[in-house]
Amino acid sequence: PSRTAILKIRNEVNVRVRVDHPNIARLIEIYEDEKQLALVLEYCPGGDLFSHLCDRGRFPEQTARVIVQQMLAVLCYLHAHDVVHRDLRLEKWVLATQHDGSGFRFLAGPVKLVDLGNATVWSNKSKKMDVTCGALAYASP
């Protein structure tokens, strides 16, 4: 991997060791050798929310409410711990449990944030963030 990719992974590790929330996929292991650096995260077999939305067209209102509540809980938690994600989108959220294919039967199971690669600890709040990151399609105008 490139030096930039390694720095991004190391940054993600630094953020992950600061956070412990039931809706953030846990870091299980870090593997590193002279050629690669890899993170092993908690297994979440349910797939990402963007794929589910594309497959079904929309989420039922009750399902969407449960999902958004969990997402907001994560955002509140991250901000309380001075972490700014900077790249939130549906592709970064997965279902922690596998559904049966007949609909949205995962209401009892959590959604989990899996990617913290662009997250940063914002300890100096008097300084503005001046790095552009994340997906352009999700950027504000």
Dihedral angle sign, alpha carbons of residues 7, 129, 135, 54: positive
With a pLDDT cut of 90, the percent of the chain lying above it is 33
Half-sphere exposure (Cβ direction) of 99: Cα atoms closer than 13 Å: 19
Residue 50 lies in a domain: yes
Query: 34-93 pLDDT, tens per residue?
Result: 888 889 999 998 889 999 889 888 888 888 899 999 999 999 999 999 898 888 889 999
- Which range marks the domain in which residue 81 is found? 3-123
d(CA 124, CA 75): 19
Asked if the structure places residue 141 within a domain, the reply is: no
Q: What is the pTM of this model?
A: 0.81
Is residue 129 one of the residues assigned to a domain? no
Tally the domains of the chain: 1
Does the residue 130 lie in any domain? no
pLDDT, residue 107, reads 47
Active site residues: 87
We report the CATH number of the domain holding residue 93 as 1.10.510.10
Residue 19 has what pLDDT?
Answer: 93
Q: Per the structure block, which two tokens stand in for 107? A: 């209401």
